[in-house]
Amino acid sequence: MDLVGIAPIERYQHAPPRVHPAAHLPGARTVISLAIRYPDALFVHAGCGLAESIFGIERYQNLVIGRRLQAATLRLTRLLEDHGHATIPMPVSGKWRVHAYKDIPTDWCADFSHRHAAVAAGLGEFGLHALVITPQFGMRQRFVSIITAAPLDPDPLYAGPPLCDHCLRCVKDCPVQAFDARRSALESVTIGERTFLYAKVDHWRCAWSEQLNLIPEEGPACAGQTYGVLPPATGPVDEMVMLNTFYAKCHAAGLQAAMTHAMGNCMRVCIPPRLRGTQQALTHLCPKTTKRHTEPIPATPAPRPYHLVAS
Ligand code: SF4
């Protein structure tokens, strides 16, 4: 692991009950946060250069780094279990409850937040984009967490110089305008004795690109996908419009629609002040200017029936 931090359960006293570590493991006393950094050049050049390769970063993110993180959580879980402590390894993020669920009012909510665990474990702090910035690697790492009943010595919360200077690059370069960074809109979260502020994120807009890959410039263009539609400039994103646009994209892009990857500009353009000049910056975003379809979204083709054939 490149980063390891330990958060005592008391730092979660303000967490909503259903996403609290104890909601997963009654009797939880500690959360361990782990991270592996991305290879810097892989991160910087994803989608750029002559190769315009976008698949490498996706495979590393999910298969190589993601699996290695999960393998580490399994090893640590077994070790802690062997010492008599109930422990749950949380998988890397990638699945969400799309709609508010029971007493969770938030859309697009993971059942456990590795971001908040990393901050609680002292590995970094939130940037304006609501993602975690670390002093060592900025944005270029992936996190995972372990919840355990073991009482481990905690690490202090991050207390160094601010890691975000509100330069607004992430807000300005977001093609779907997912961030509301007005002072009056900022959201606050209290972890331990610190309160953090970050922009209000419209997760539907974010998913428009990140999960449904509807903005070619954030990655799919590098696989030859040209079908793109922007969400409405203001106001809420309508789920049915989103679904219809997604189906239209699948229709237009064919099988390629299932084999594309998007990587948010907010992750890619953010270099915290202390790493500017040392961490390699992007010279440009995804190089292709893609056609943007402005005509009405084509009707969704009628689904073809299929039959399960008993063997
Ligand atoms: S891009 Fe600038 S404003 Fe956004 S999180 Fe990074 S340092 Fe903060």
- Residue 291 pLDDT greater than 70, yes or no: no
290 located within any domain = no
To the question of pTM greater than 0.85 for the whole model, the response is yes
Q: Tell me, what's the pLDDT at 306?
A: 61
Residue range 97-117, pLDDT digits in tens: 999 999 998 899 998 999 999
Q: Name residue 201's beta-bridge partners.
A: 179
80 located within any domain = yes
Share of the chain above pLDDT 70, in %: 91
Mean pLDDT of 224-230: 81
- Residue 297 pLDDT greater than 70, yes or no: no
Boundaries of domain holding 164: 3-275
Of ligand 1's atoms, which has the minimum distance to the CA of residue 266?
A: 1
280 located within any domain = no
304 located within any domain = no
Residue whose CA is closest, atom 6 of ligand 1?
Answer: 270
Residue whose CA is closest, atom 4 of ligand 1?
Answer: 170
- List all residues whose CB is within 6 A of at least one atom of ligand 1: 127-129, 164-170, 269-270, 272
Of ligand 1's atoms, which has the minimum distance to the CA of residue 273?
A: 7
Share of the chain above pLDDT 90, in %: 63
How far apart are the C-alpha atoms of 186 and 174, rounded to whole Å? 17
- Residue 282 pLDDT greater than 90, yes or no: no
Total number of domains constituting the chain:
1
How far apart are the C-alpha atoms of 40 and 37, rounded to whole Å? 8
Q: Tell me, what's the pLDDT at 293?
A: 47
How far apart are the C-alpha atoms of 179 and 126, rounded to whole Å? 14
Span of 20-24, 134-138, 266-270 with lowest mean pLDDT: 266-270
302 located within any domain = no
Quote the ligand 1 centre to 190 CA distance (angstroms).
20
285 located within any domain = no
Of ligand 1's atoms, which has the minimum distance to the CA of residue 131?
A: 5
283 located within any domain = no
Mean pLDDT of 195-218: 92
Quote the ligand 1 centre to 88 CA distance (angstroms).
33
- How would residue 175 be classed by pLDDT, with cut points 50, 70 and 90? confident
Residue range 45-59, pLDDT digits in tens: 888 888 888 888 999
Residue range 70-93, pLDDT digits in tens: 999 999 999 999 999 999 999 998
294 located within any domain = no
Given phi > 0 = left and psi -120 to 50 = alpha, else beta, which region is 224?
Answer: left
Mean pLDDT of 157-172: 96
Span of 29-38, 84-93, 124-133, 235-244 with lowest mean pLDDT: 235-244
Of ligand 1's atoms, which has the minimum distance to the CA of residue 269?
A: 1
Q: Which residues of 146-180 are buried (b: 16+ CB within 10 A; e: fewer)?
A: bbbbbeeebbebbeeeebbeebebbbebbbbebbe
Quote the ligand 1 centre to 33 CA distance (angstroms).
22
Mean pLDDT of the chain: 89
Nearest alpha-carbon partner for 270 in 282, 288, 287, 284: 282
- Residue 268 pLDDT greater than 80, yes or no: yes
Residue whose CA is closest, atom 5 of ligand 1?
Answer: 127
Nearest alpha-carbon partner for 192 in 163, 162, 218, 157: 157
How far apart are the C-alpha atoms of 59 and 172, rounded to whole Å? 28
